[in-house]
A and B are shown apart, each in its own frame.
Chain A
Amino acid sequence: NAGVMQNPRHLVRRRGQEARLRCSPMKGHSHVYWYRQLPEEGLKFMVYLQKENIIDESGMPKERFSAEFPKEGPSILRIQQVVRGDSAAYFCASSPPPGARSPLHFGNGTRLTVT
C-alpha cells in the first residue's frame, strides 16, 4: 500500500527557470494539500485541492505559483520564474474527503534549491 509519493526528491533550478513538483496521493484519496517549509521554519499551508477543483488557495503566493490536481495523474505544484526565496521543502499530503476526520498522510517532500 504505497504512501504519498513526491518527486523529484531534490530539484535544483537557476533563477528564472520553472519548477514542477509532483505529488501522487495515496490510493483512494481524493484530496491533496501542499505545504512549504522554509529552512529552520515551520510548515505553512499553501493550497488544498480536490480532483479538478481548487478548494482553498489562501496560502498560495498571488504570483508565479499555481497548483492543479487533474482527473487523471498526480497533483502538480508549479513555480514559474523561481527566485532564491523559493528555496524550501515542499510537502504534499493526501486524505479521504473531510468529515471522516481521517489523518493527513504526508510525502517526504521535494527539496527545491534555487541557485
Chain B
Amino acid sequence: DAKTTQPNSMESNEEEPVHLPCNHSTISGTDYIHWYRQLPSQGPEYVIHGLTSNVNNRMASLAIAEDRKSSTLILHRATLRDAAVYYCILDGGATNKLIFGTGTLLAVQP
C-alpha cells in the first residue's frame, strides 16, 4: 500500500479555516484518497474521499494536487468539536481495507 505523510499535530483557532496537508508521492493511478477522523473515545468517522477532482461535502473540502502527490483537507470554520486525529489514507480499491497511519492531531483553541 502506498504511504502517506502528515504532520503530527496542528493548531487552529475556533471559527477559522484549517488546512490539513497530506503527502502521497507514491500514489498509483487507481488509488483513491480518503480522509477519516477520530474524536476522543470514539471510532473513526468518514470525512471525505476523492480521486482526481476537488470534492466538497457538508463536513469539509478536499483539494487534490494536479499531480496527485499531495492533498489538503479543508475545514472551512473550525469548531471545538473538530478537535480530533485526522487520517489521510490511500485506497487501492481491491478491498475496502484501509491502513491507518499516525494522522494529524488537530487542536482547536477557543
Contact = CB atoms under 8 A, between A and B. Distances in A.
A106 B97 contact: no
A42 B95 CA distance: 20
B49 A45 contact: no
Interface string B40-64: 0111111001000000000000000
B49 A103 contact: yes
B45 A45 contact: no
B78 to A, nearest CB: 22
Interface string A7-48: 000000000000000000000000101010000001111001
Nearest to B101: A42
Given A42-B100, A101-B49, A106 B43 contact: yes
Interface string A78-103: 00000000000001010100110111
A42 B89 CA distance: 13
Interface residues of B, number: 23
A38 B96 CA distance: 22
A101 B95 contact: no
A104 interface: yes
Contacts of B41: 108
Contact of A103 (B34, B102, B103): B34
Contact of B97 (A42, A48, A99, A107): A48
Nearest to B43: A106
8 contacts: A33-B97, A55-B95, A98-B93, A99-B93, A102-B96, A104-B36, A104-B44, A104-B96
Interface of B: 32, 34, 36, 38, 41-46, 49, 91, 93-103
Given A43-B38, A103-B34, 6 more contacts: A42-B103, A48-B95, A98-B94, A104-B44, A106-B43, A108-B43
